[in-house]
């Protein structure tokens, strides 16, 4: 499924941004190909991957953050989950979707990892976020993620970053606003009085990031269609903001392009009535494009969506830095860098 729309203490920027070496401009090859740095003398071999470009330059993304904050000040939203798209193109033979997925799993293992192939479209996801689970006996659970820190280079710095996230009033506010939104979404098909928040603003640690996660549970109203219960919660509130409908209209204006599969949902509906769906984040989509028959070779387009929640307290430079942190797990597995522009 694809989505409908197209001052707290913060850690120092130096600890948050996966830096790009500006002296290491490279000609792209396939994901995971190995090359030695030209002119290097230390013998270190680094994967050389595709060169990504971004739909938004840093200045244009910062301008969109300012526009989102204007909408918040005007009372049109409380929280705007702004996103952008990174894109790369390479020869189709170099795309190697399955080895790329295996590299992603090694680099960034996640509880909702998935690999899908539909003809020329391939999806390699290492999502850590559950959108919605409905068990065969009617138990419902949503587990939104809001709040991110990179992992530290040493145990002490890693502990500090985790504690910084846990203590961040801004990140807690982001998370709690989405919890409130999802409580409302679940209530449409839940037994009265069954909606509960069983975990609030807990920290989970993954290979490349720490995340703030909450859990909302409910009981499905007997006789309710499960597909309709999923539909009323879709798209995930953690990928829209709140209130959902008016904020999606804001995003449709700001983002200037469709999200595609990114921020949708990946999962299954079972014959026994159970369903489990993850939010399509940390997800690389590969689209094969045939040659034109007159000498133009077949190519593949790689797309990666990234974004973050904007609130009235957001610091634009830090929000831009956060999307770099979120992209790092996937890009580093490809041997790629976040684009400069």
Distance CA(146)–CA(308), nearest Å, equals 8
Within 10 Å of residue 246's Cβ, how many Cβ atoms? 15
Contact yes or no for 299/89 (Cβ under 8 A): yes
The encoded tokens of residue 226 equal 């499960």
Is 129 annotated in the active site? yes
Question: Of residues 146, 170, 244, 326, which has the active-site annotation?
Answer: 146
Pairing of strands 275-279, 33-36: unpaired
Question: Of residues 71, 129, 174, 319, which has the active-site annotation?
Answer: 129
Within 10 Å of residue 66's Cβ, how many Cβ atoms? 12
Contact yes or no for 6/262 (Cβ under 8 A): no
Distance CA(160)–CA(191), nearest Å, equals 41
The encoded tokens of residue 21 equal 């070496």
318's enclosing H/E stretch is helix 316-334
Distance CA(302)–CA(298), nearest Å, equals 14
Tell me if residue 170 falls in helix, strand or coil: helix
177 DSSP 8-state letter: H
283's enclosing H/E stretch is strand 283-289
87 DSSP 8-state letter: E
Nearest of 174, 114, 170, 118 to residue 144 by alpha carbon: 174
Is 322 annotated in the active site? no
Pairing of strands 299-310, 79-91: antiparallel
> Could you list the active site residues?
129, 146
């Amino acid at each position: 499924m694809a989505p409908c729309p197209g001052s707290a203490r913060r850690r120092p920027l130096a600890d948050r941004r996966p830096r790009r070496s500006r002296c290491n401009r490279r000609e792209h090859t396939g994901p995971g190909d190995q090359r030695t740095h030209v002119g290097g003398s230390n013998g270190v071999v680094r994967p050389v991957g595709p060169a990504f470009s971004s739909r938004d330059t840093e200045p244009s993304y910062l301008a969109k953050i300012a526009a989102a904050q204007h909408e918040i000040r005007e009372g049109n939203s409380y929280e705007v989950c702004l996103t952008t798209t990174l894109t790369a193109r390479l020869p189709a033979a170099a795309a190697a979707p399955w080895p790329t997925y295996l590299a992603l799993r090694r680099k960034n293992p996640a509880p909702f990892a998935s690999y899908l192939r539909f003809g020329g479209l391939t999806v390699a996801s290492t999502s850590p976020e559950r959108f919605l689970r409905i068990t065969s006996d009617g138990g419902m659970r949503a587990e939104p993620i809001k709040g991110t820190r990179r992992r530290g280079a040493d145990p002490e710095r890693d502990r500090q970053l985790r504690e910084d996230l846990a203590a961040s009033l801004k990140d807690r506010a982001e998370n709690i606003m989405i919890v409130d939104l999802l409580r409302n979404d679940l209530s449409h098909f839940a037994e009265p009085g069954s909606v509960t928040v069983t975990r609030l603003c807990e920290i989970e640690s993954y290979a490349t990031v720490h995340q703030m996660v909450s859990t909302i549970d409910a009981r499905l109203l007997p006789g309710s269609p499960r597909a309709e219960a999923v539909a009323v919660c879709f798209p995930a509130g953690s990928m829209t903001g709140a209130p959902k409908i008016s904020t999606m209209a804001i995003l449709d204006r700001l983002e200037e392009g469709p999200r595609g599969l990114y921020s949708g949902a990946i999962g299954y509906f079972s014959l026994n009535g159970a369903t489990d769906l993850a939010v399509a984040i940390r997800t690389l989509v590969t689209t094969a494009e045939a040659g034109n028959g007159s000498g133009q070779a077949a190519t593949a387009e790689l797309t990666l969506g990234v974004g973050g929640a904007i609130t009235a307290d957001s610091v634009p430079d830090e929000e831009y830095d956060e999307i770099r942190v979120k992209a790092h797990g996937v890009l580093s597995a490809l041997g790629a860098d976040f684009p400069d522009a």
